[in-house]
Structure 1
Amino acid sequence: MKCVALIASALFLLCNAAHGGDVAENAIAQRACAAIAGRVDAVAGSAPVFLRSYDDGRGAGEVDDPALRTAAFTYDNALAVIALLACDKRAQALRVGEALRLAAINDTRLRNTYRAGAVGDKVLPNGWWDAKQNHWVENAYQDGSATGNVAWAALALLALHDATGDARWRDAAVKLADWVIANASDSRGAGGFTGGIDGFDANPKKVIWKSTEHNVDLVAAFDWLAKSQAPGEWKKYAGAARHFVESQWDAASGHFLVGTLADGVTPNRGTSGLDVQMWAQLLPDAPREWQRAIAYAEREHRVAGGFDFNSDRDGLWLEGTAQAALVYRQLGREADAQKLFATIAQQFSSGGFVYATREPRITTGLAIGSDSTSADFYYYHRPHLGATAWAALAALNRNPFVGSR
């Protein structure tokens, strides 16, 4: 009997070793899905809701930023919709999606950030009361409309159209796409689309540099609109965005440049971005040549356990590490994905969200807004909705650029 027990135990261990990846993925998916759905359910009733992007708690050396206390970043909430659909949490996805839809159809333009919480007939910009100045304060970047954020909101709405067949989701995505065409189309250099709008309605500033990542997002959104048979010249606009992305491919080094300077032509070689190297791989018809960008990222962005946002390698960026895990899975590199899942599994906060970073702070090499005088865009060791959504997508092997059907 002892021999039988030993054999059974050995077989159990072998089976667990063989399926260890599935165990890690399932655990990450369950935790991430439960955390995001739980935030929706915490807002009583069935009203539309915007989810707060960051939990309380500052990283070491981080100054308290009132702009984050109630901030629901549009990009994070768009990711949450797509992740909730992948998690089979349709009811929760519909509540967040309806908040995005209301913003898309009722606001003057889709903002980068809204106020977290239940949404009534009118979406509210994020802001806070400044006791020292004795007045209400809003943030110029948060009130702006970055082209990439608009594209991600359109992708979330298209995912809801794909899941439900309800045309109102696609109609709202069309309105967002029309805004991009009207406000960000550009003929300089390789064409494509500019960065969007910064600032308040009283004094909006056009962002005239172009981002490769934004244009990747637009390729996905315009192509999806074309496949959904929405009326419009979506193939034409997808082609314009793709042409710009192709122009930013640096064949000598095998990676994508982050975009252009303000002249819309001169390449920005001052920093490197992980997201564009990974997101380009998720486009359904990405050329095989672009996979060289993964090797570039492994060489220039890799840190212990995963990847940094830029090539200074000053810390682990969890959102990008999850993006890389998804790309590895989409390309059949499961062993590489499992190594990243092992890292992600150790970076869940007590509240259920994945931390934005492992280190107290990491740089990006980018500026927050057009008024910035330095590369002041940082990520901190805070529980982050966006990182949690990407962890769910990676664990469930869901490509956000294509429909579930």
Structure 2
Amino acid sequence: MELPKPLQNTAFVYDNALAVMAFLACGRVDRARSIGDALISAGKRDRYYTDGRLRNAYRSGPVDEQIALPGWWDDAAKNWVEDEYQVSTASGNIAWAALALLQLHDRTKEPKYLDGAEHLGSWLEQLAGRDDHNPGVAGGYYGFEPEASRIAWKSTEHNIDIVAVARWLWMTTEDPRWERLAQNTLRFVSTMHDDKDGFLIGTDLQGQRVHSADLWLDVQIWPLLVLPESQRPTSWYDATNLIDARLSVPGGYDFNGDRDGLWIEGTAQAALLFSLEGEPKRASILIGSVLQYIDPESGWLYATPNEELSTGLSIDAMGQGGAFMYHRWPHLGATAWTVLAAMDFNPFQPN
């Protein structure tokens, strides 16, 4: 199977953070450590930035002195090309890298992983609103250096991730700055909850909540994985009924409300939630469903059994790119989430 050129040598930070956790769930600490060490190196040895940020993706393969970014040779133009999203920085991906390092620190007790997570937390902190009327962390930066633009909108999903990072850092270090960041981002996530439509996707460029006829699966599930049941607002309790009513498809759940097919990664997320919430039978059924869709060559699960699966989102962070689609391709994120579900491993909390 030949992937499009932008994906042929690409290792996404989010998927690799999940791989760290999947390896830890299976007791493969050395494999997890190798990815965690690469993430730390990438933050220290960027080709341009010195503020410790990570790009959304890196070139796959061993880490050398120079941290390489993905790209490809354009035969027609006779030049090297890079993908604008891949070289940009999304807050959510920074948070997932921090969670991976926190999981490594929890397992190994090696200080470098906690230090790395704190550095990433500090980078996220500088994107946070500074008062009760402007909570939440902005989306990151988009574009090629040196002219990357700060993303003005705020994502509910990103802020859920950052709630988890900040709570964990606060619990581990007792530094009040992390308590403030946890409260800030949780306040934002709470304002994004709608009694009818569950968690909204986030804000627009003007800071207004985005109401949509659509619904997205992961943003409904992740808050319940971050906050223990005793700490959740009562209005959050309808989340599982909501996804059953509006996102279910044969075998599991769709990415969004158009219900045009099975999203394997998100179905695994739902399986983990059901398992942790005391519904092991539902979890087992979902895991059994997605395990039908393993690529025989790689051993990874497909992103979807469909030839294409729509998401209702655009490829780039500015809403100007083409439609973001999943394809029937082997997918590290789907594989890792399925491992986490099978092992009852919560990526947002110590295990």
| TM-score w.r.t. length of structure 1 | 0.81
Larger mean Cα displacement after TM superposition, 202-211 or 311-320? 202-211
| Mapped contact 2:197–2:215 kept (Cα < 8 A) | no
- In structure 2, how many angstroms separate the alpha carbons of the residues matched to 1:140 and 1:188? 33
- Aligned position for 2:136: 192
1:369 to 306, 316, 338: 316
Shift in Å, 1:186: 6.3
- In structure 2, how many angstroms separate the alpha carbons of the residues matched to 1:192 and 1:233? 14
- Aligned position for 2:19: 80
- Aligned position for 1:387: 334
- Aligned position for 1:277: 220
- In structure 1, how many angstroms separate the alpha carbons of the residues matched to 2:35 and 2:114? 15
| Mapped contact 1:99–1:123 kept (Cα < 8 A) | no
- Aligned position for 1:341: 287
AA at the equivalent of 1:276: V
Within a 5 Å distance, the mapping from 1:116-195 to structure 2 comes to 116-185=60-129, 190-195=134-139
AA at the equivalent of 2:162: L
1:327-358 alpha-carbon deviations (Å, 9 max, x no partner): 00010111211221121110111111010011
- In structure 1, how many angstroms separate the alpha carbons of the residues matched to 2:209 and 2:162? 21
Is residue 170 of structure 2 the alignment partner of residue 226 of structure 1? yes
Shift in Å, 1:139: 0.8
AA at the equivalent of 2:323: D
- In structure 2, how many angstroms separate the alpha carbons of the residues matched to 1:67 and 1:230? 42
- In structure 2, how many angstroms separate the alpha carbons of the residues matched to 1:230 and 1:166? 18
- In structure 2, how many angstroms separate the alpha carbons of the residues matched to 1:186 and 1:267? 21
- Aligned position for 1:3: none
- In structure 2, how many angstroms separate the alpha carbons of the residues matched to 1:170 and 1:95? 15
Larger mean Cα displacement after TM superposition, 83-92 or 276-285? 276-285
DSSP 3-state at the match of 2:58: strand
| Mapped contact 2:20–2:32 kept (Cα < 8 A) | yes
Shift in Å, 1:118: 0.4
Percent of aligned pairs with the same residue?
Answer: 41
Shift in Å, 1:265: 2.0
Larger mean Cα displacement after TM superposition, 372-381 or 192-201? 372-381
Is residue 306 of structure 2 the alignment partner of residue 354 of structure 1? no
Shift in Å, 1:290: 1.5
1:283-336 alpha-carbon deviations (Å, 9 max, x no partner): 133515413111111111111000000000111100000000000001011121
1:164-209 alpha-carbon deviations (Å, 9 max, x no partner): 1111111111111111112354659552011111111121011111
- Aligned position for 1:259: 202
Is residue 325 of structure 2 the alignment partner of residue 378 of structure 1? yes
Is residue 343 of structure 2 the alignment partner of residue 399 of structure 1? no
1:97-151 alpha-carbon deviations (Å, 9 max, x no partner): 1111111233222000000000012321111111111000011110111000000
| Mapped contact 2:36–2:101 kept (Cα < 8 A) | yes
- Aligned position for 2:273: 327
| Higher RCO structure, 1 or 2 (CA under 8 Å, sep 6+) | 1
- In structure 1, how many angstroms separate the alpha carbons of the residues matched to 2:132 and 2:16? 32
Count of aligned residue pairs for this structure pair: 342
Q: In structure 2, do the counterparts of structure 1 residues 304 and 280 end up closer, same or farther at CA, with 3 Å as the change threshold? A: same
Shift in Å, 1:155: 0.2
AA at the equivalent of 2:164: A
Shift in Å, 1:395: 0.2
Shift in Å, 1:67: 0.7
Q: In structure 2, do the counterparts of structure 1 residues 382 and 95 end up closer, same or farther at CA, with 3 Å as the change threshold? A: same
Q: In structure 2, do the counterparts of structure 1 residues 129 and 187 end up closer, same or farther at CA, with 3 Å as the change threshold? A: farther
| Mapped contact 1:105–1:175 kept (Cα < 8 A) | no
AA at the equivalent of 1:274: L
Q: In structure 2, do the counterparts of structure 1 residues 371 and 265 end up closer, same or farther at CA, with 3 Å as the change threshold? A: closer
- In structure 1, how many angstroms separate the alpha carbons of the residues matched to 2:227 and 2:132? 27
DSSP 3-state at the match of 1:163: helix
Gaps of 5+ in 1: 1-55, 58-63
Larger mean Cα displacement after TM superposition, 349-358 or 105-114? 105-114
Larger radius of gyration: 1
- Aligned position for 1:290: 236
- In structure 2, how many angstroms separate the alpha carbons of the residues matched to 1:184 and 1:382? 36
| Mapped contact 1:170–1:230 kept (Cα < 8 A) | no
AA at the equivalent of 1:98: D
Within a 5 Å distance, the mapping from 1:3-152 to structure 2 comes to 56-57=1-2, 65-107=4-46, 108=49, 109-152=53-96
- In structure 2, how many angstroms separate the alpha carbons of the residues matched to 1:248 and 1:255? 8
Shift in Å, 1:254: 5.5
AA at the equivalent of 1:77: N
- Aligned position for 1:11: none
- In structure 2, how many angstroms separate the alpha carbons of the residues matched to 1:284 and 1:272? 21
Shift in Å, 1:74: 0.2
Gaps of 5+ in 2: none
| Mapped contact 1:257–1:267 kept (Cα < 8 A) | yes
DSSP 3-state at the match of 1:363: strand
1:217 to 149, 152, 161: 161
DSSP 3-state at the match of 2:11: strand
1:250 to 185, 194, 200: 194
AA at the equivalent of 2:15: D
